[in-house]
């Protein structure tokens, strides 16, 4: 994935779309104040300067699907591991909730279910049937909408064709009004995301930690 | 001191029970029940009732885990190492110490279960052949924890139990009624032949040699829970030795406290002498200096490294919101104990007990300051947060202290807390045999059929 | 189980008794000495000092090491899941598992061998006297031929104790 920080307006449409697509539980105001809110993608805000010359910088942060993910070797039950496609998988059934992965993640993109999911009526009608609900005590995180990836691949296979670049879009990518988020196949050097990753504006978040993240952030034009 | 007096003095707590015993048991039992109830409440309602939050996912329970595993290093040091170097003053102290190890380990090993999100599935940490043939991830430090703690618990339980067998035989002979039957069963038919004594002592020697590396590895592996992740100020190469030194430090302090209480309550003034407290006090001073050394080295390296993520945590503990706790810890672990333990006139039983009490508090705070500030100030400042403990966590913490005290009290009621036969052996005159005499004795038993 | 024995109140007289039994022609492995403490500095206590136990513990350690290797290799290759870019079977974490199981093997081998060697827990009846717990030392001749019993009684009495018991 590539994130163009120059285009991001901080509107948080991605956050809303992600939560709806992936059945992220609602924490409520009291629990959120106690730090139990879950947002698989969040938009970080950093303020610079004094009023009235304040500048705000937005940075959407989601799971970086690191190639050398620090969250993977520390999970004692293999709930967190690397798939052949290069995604960092979180297997809810296998998670016993030690939260070691959540501590080890330097990007803090892993979240723990402090309670069972509850949706007030009629919100349960908006649940996505393609995504399982997580019970209390399980760690969850952004999966790059793996259900959409699988659905897209199966569609292409059924129609006997290759996947087109840009055909599979996670919920955040689909909902971004400025197309700041770009998703694709990094193995294909001609895909949009590969070209953007090679851009001179491209940086990786916390890349001195050696996690080899897959998300490239494109710096703002100054 | 004649043998019958030793028997009488050390078996008196087993024979006579005062009303205070029952009051203690009732009081501690109530606290433990409330703690257990808190745990059930937490399991029912989920960890939302605890104070942990994003991103501080480990707090009180892991602090307690590291603390209790640390306390468990008392027995190993005293029993095993002193046995290996033939320090005779260890004799009255060994069983007190070994008991601390076993019970502290049991309590410490509970905490990885208590802090789990789905504790009913804790058995997935054990390597057992499941239907789907999926095993624990042996690359995870938590899997190493399982192996290390089980080995250490097995080893120290056996290390405790084996030398009690001759004392069980003594109790079988000197007691009557249902006690005689139970101790008779536990004595396993021990007679006390020369062969049995030699084998027992050889086995104790081997176990002492084996248990020391195991103990060091256990707390090193507990330190790996932290140092194997890229969290600022956790990812430190000094964590292994730092944790082991801190464990032995808090363990000796716990032992001194236990011994002082036993001496008072069970009237063991003739067996636990000020010399024992002085010697342990010297060891405690050594460990205090070692702990101070490690803390200084770790902080100095961090400060010179000037890595932004680490400096955020560093300043938070030195001058920020965790500073009061940090400076209390330094005060408790170093400033107060140092004069009390270094100046011989102050190194009395009272002095060592005061020093040990502050050290136990200080080491608990140290574990807390290792776990929480680093998680509260991780790499991305947008996610910084602060932690406040909730009643559930506080109650469970208090309950474990009560559990330790209760288990210890019950043990001292059932088994003599000072090893009777080892104490008597210490009173033998030791004729020094020349090498020729030794060889002659060996020949005697070898050449005759 | 037949035996004839005497109880001595201090180790010196027990040593004297053992020597007089030897002079009377009793074989060394027929003499049994029991006490409530080990009397390492006395000669009667030097029998059985040699032991294989250290080798058995080392053997147990080797078995534990092999168990660790096996557990690590088999469990890691059953579900070869990549974690953190690390190799599937990596030496560093495996060494830790191997070490722990080595020590566990040594410890368990020691304890099991101890119980076997000392014949604990006992099933068949053995000689014993509660006087041992009062600090007395028991010197016995186990299973003496009937013809020798009066001679043995005399030897025991000559070594200066009040009573001789037989069971």
- What is the model's pLDDT at position B449? 36
Using CB atoms, which chains have 3+ pairs under 8 A with C? A, B
B443: confidence class by pLDDT, cuts 50, 70, 90: low
| ipTM value for the complex | 0.92
Q: What is the DSSP string of B210-243?
A: HHHHHHHHHHHHHHHHHHTS--TTTS-TTHHHHH
* Per-residue model confidence (pLDDT) at position B409: 93
Q: What is the CATH number of the domain that holds B396?
A: 1.20.1630.10
Among B205, B349, B368, B345, residue whose Cα is nearest residue B272: B349
Residues 101-160 of chain A with CB under 8 A from chain B are 102-104, 106-108, 111-116, 135-139
> What residue spans define the domains of chain A?
2-215
Which of B200, B203, B217 lies at the smallest CB-CB distance from C99? B217
Structural domains of chain B, count: 1
- What range defines the domain where residue B31 resides? 3-128+135-425
Question: Of all helices (H) and strands (E), which one includes residue A146?
Answer: helix A146-158
Instruction: Tell me which chains share at least 3 CB pairs under 8 Å with chain A.
Output: B, C
CB-nearest to B118 from A75, A138, A210 is: A138
pLDDT, one tens digit per residue, over C41-95 is 777 777 777 788 899 999 999 999 999 999 999 988 888 888 888 888 888 889 9
Tell me the sheet residues that pair with A218.
Answer: A4, A202
User: What share of chain B has pLDDT > 70, as a percent?
Assistant: 96
Give the pLDDT score at B442: 61
Q: How far is CA B212 from the centre of its chain?
A: 13
Contact (CB, 8 A) for A98 and B57: no
**B176–chain A nearest CA distance, Å:** 50
Q: Residue B44: in which H helix or E strand, if any?
A: helix B19-45
Assigned domain for B439 exists:
no
Scored b (16 or more CB within 10 A) or e, C119-134 reads: bbeeeeebbbbebbbb
Say how far apart CA B234 and CA B218 lie, in whole Å: 18
Asked if B191 lies within 8 A of C93 by C-beta distance, the reply is: no
H or E segment to which residue B208 belongs: helix B194-227
Query: What pLDDT shows up at residue C70?
Result: 93
For chain C, what is the mean pLDDT? Answer: 83
| Interface check C120 vs B, CB under 8 A | yes
Q: What digits encode the pLDDT tens for the residues C24-46? A: 777 777 788 888 888 877 777 77
The answer as to whether B167 is a domain residue is yes
Average pLDDT over all residues of chain B: 90
| Residue C125: predicted pLDDT | 65
Of A88, A81, A79, A73, give the one whose Cα is nearest residue C86.
A73
In this prediction, residue B189 carries a pLDDT of 84
pLDDT at A40: 95
Mutate to test the interface with B, among A74, A90, A115, A213 (most CBs of B within 10 A): A74
Nearest Cα neighbor of B419 from B201, B179, B189 is B201
Which pTM was predicted? 0.93
In a domain, B70, yes or no: yes
Q: Could you say which of 1.25.40, 3.30.70, 2.40.128, 3.30.1360 is the CATH number of the domain covering C3-49+126-166?
A: 3.30.70
Distance CA B276, CA B91 (A): 10
Residue C1 is predicted with a pLDDT of 53
What confidence score (pLDDT) does residue B444 get? 55
B393: tokens are: 């966590």
Q: Per residue of chain A (222 residues), what is the pLDDT tens digit?
A: 999 999 999 999 999 999 999 999 888 889 899 989 999 999 999 898 888 888 888 999 999 999 999 999 999 999 999 999 899 999 999 999 999 999 999 999 999 999 888 888 888 888 999 999 999 999 999 999 999 999 999 999 999 998 888 899 999 999 999 999 999 999 989 999 999 999 999 999 998 899 999 999 999 887
Average of pLDDT values for B289-293? 95
The tokens for C24 are 């009377």
Residue B448 lies in a domain: no
Nearest chain B alpha carbon to A104: B229
Interval B58-81: pLDDT, tens: 999 999 999 999 999 988 878 899
Position C8 scores a pLDDT of 83
Q: What is the pLDDT of residue B447?
A: 44
The rounded Cα B58 to chain-centroid distance in angstroms is: 22
DSSP string, B346-372: G-SHHHHHHHHHHHHHHHHHHHHHHHH
Residues of A in Cβ contact (< 8 Å) with C86: 73
Give ranges for CATH 3.30.70 in chain C. 3-49+126-166
C-alpha angle B135-B136-B140 in degrees, rounded to nearest 5: 150
Residue range A2-215 forms a domain whose CATH class is: alpha beta
- Best of A71, A72, A88 to disrupt the C interface by mutation (most C CBs within 10 Å)? A72
C-alpha closest to that of A150 among A195, A79, A89: A89
């Amino acid at each position: 994935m590539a994130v163009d920080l120059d285009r991001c307006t901080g509107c948080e449409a991605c956050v809303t779309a992600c939560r709806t697509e992936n059945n992220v539980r609602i924490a409520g105001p009291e629990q959120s104040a106690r730090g139990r809110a879950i947002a698989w993608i969040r938009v970080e805000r950093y303020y610079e300067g004094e009023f009235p010359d304040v500048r705000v910088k937005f940075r959407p942060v989601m799971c970086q699907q690191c190639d050398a993910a620090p969250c993977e070797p520390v999970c004692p039950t293999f709930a967190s591991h690397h798939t052949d496609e290069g995604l960092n998988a979180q297997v809810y059934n296998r998670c016993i909730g030690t939260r070691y992965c959540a501590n080890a993640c330097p990007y803090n993109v892993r979240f723990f279910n402090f309670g069972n999911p509850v949706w007030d009526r009629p919100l349960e009608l908006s649940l996505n049937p393609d995504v399982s609900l997580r019970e209390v005590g399980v760690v969850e995180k952004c999966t790059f909408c793996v259900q959409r990836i699988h659905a897209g691949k199966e569609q292409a296979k059924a129609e006997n064709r290759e996947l087109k670049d840009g055909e599979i879009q996670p919920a955040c990518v689909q909902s971004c009004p400025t197309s700041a988020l770009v998703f694709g196949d990094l193995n294909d050097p001609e895909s949009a995301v590969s070209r953007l990753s090679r851009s001179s504006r491209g940086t990786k978040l916390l890349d001195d930690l050696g996690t080899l993240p897959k998300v490239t952030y494109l710096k703002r034009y100054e | 001191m004649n043998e019958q007096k030793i028997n009488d003095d050390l078996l008196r707590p087993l024979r006579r029970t005062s009303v205070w015993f029952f009051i203690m048991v009732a009081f501690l039992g109530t606290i433990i029940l409330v703690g257990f109830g808190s745990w059930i409440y937490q399991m029912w309602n989920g960890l939302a009732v605890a104070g942990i939050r994003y991103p501080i996912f480990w707090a009180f329970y892991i602090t307690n885990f590291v603390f209790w595993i640390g306390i468990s290093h008392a027995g190993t040091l005293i029993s095993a190492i002193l046995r290996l170097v033939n320090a005779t003053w260890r004799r009255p102290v060994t069983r007190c110490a070994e008991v601390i190890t076993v019970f502290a380990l049991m309590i410490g090993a509970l905490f990885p279960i208590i802090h789990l999100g789905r504790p009913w599935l804790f058995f997935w940490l054990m390597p057992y052949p499941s239907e789907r043939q999926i095993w624990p991830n042996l690359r995870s430090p938590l899997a190493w924890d399982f192996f290390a703690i089980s080995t250490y618990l097995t080893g120290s339980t056996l290390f405790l139990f084996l030398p009690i067998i001759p004392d069980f035989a003594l109790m079988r002979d000197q007691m009557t009624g249902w006690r005689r039957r139970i101790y008779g069963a536990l004595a396993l038919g021990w007679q006390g032949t020369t062969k049995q004594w030699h084998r027992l002592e050889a086995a104790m020697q081997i176990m002492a040699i084996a248990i020391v590396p195991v103990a060091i590895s256990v707390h090193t592996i507990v330190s790996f829970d932290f140092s194997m992740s890229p969290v600022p100020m956790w990812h430190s190469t000094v964590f292994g030795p730092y944790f082991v030194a801190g464990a032995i430090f808090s363990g000796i302090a716990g032992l001194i406290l236990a011994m002082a209480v036993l001496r008072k309550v069970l009237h063991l003034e003739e067996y636990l002498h000020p010399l024992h407290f002085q010697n342990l006090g010297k060891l405690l001073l050594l460990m205090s200096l070692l702990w101070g050394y490690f803390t200084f080295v770790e902080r100095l390296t961090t400060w010179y490294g000037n890595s932004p993520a680490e400096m955020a945590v560093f300043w938070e503990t030195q001058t920020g919101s965790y500073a009061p706790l940090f400076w209390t810890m330094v005060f408790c672990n170093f400033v107060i104990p140092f004069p009390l333990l270094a100046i011989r006139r102050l190194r009395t039983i009272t002095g060592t007990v005061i020093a040990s009490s502050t050290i136990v508090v200080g080491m608990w705070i140290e574990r807390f300051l290792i776990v929480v500030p680093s998680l509260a100030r991780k790499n991305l400042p947008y996610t910084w947060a602060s932690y406040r403990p909730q009643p559930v966590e506080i109650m469970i913490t208090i309950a474990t202290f009560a559990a330790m005290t209760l288990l210890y009290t019950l043990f001292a009621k059932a088994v003599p807390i000072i090893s009777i036969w080892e104490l008597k052996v210490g009173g033998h005159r030791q004729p020094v045999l020349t090498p020729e005499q030794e060889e002659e004795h060996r020949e005697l038993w070898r050449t005759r059929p | 189980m037949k035996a004839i024995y005497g109880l001595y109140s201090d180790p010196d007289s027990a040593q004297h008794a053992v020597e007089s039994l030897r002079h009377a022609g009793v074989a060394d492995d027929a003499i049994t000495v029991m006490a409530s403490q080990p009397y390492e500095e006395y000669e009667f206590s030097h029998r059985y000092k040699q032991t294989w136990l250290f080798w058995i513990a080392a053997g147990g350690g080797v078995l534990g090491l092999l168990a660790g290797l096996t557990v690590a290799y088999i469990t890691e290759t059953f579900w070869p899941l990549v974690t953190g870019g690390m190799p599937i079977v990596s030496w560093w974490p495996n060494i830790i598992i191997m070490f722990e199981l080595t020590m566990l093997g040594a410890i368990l081998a020691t304890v099991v061998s101890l119980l076997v060697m000392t014949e604990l827990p006992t099933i068949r009846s053995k000689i014993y006297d509660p006087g041992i717990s009062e600090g007395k030392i028991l010197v016995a001749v186990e299973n003496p031929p009937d013809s020798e019993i009066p001679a043995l009684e005399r030897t025991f009495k000559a070594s200066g104790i009040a009573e001789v018991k037989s069971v």
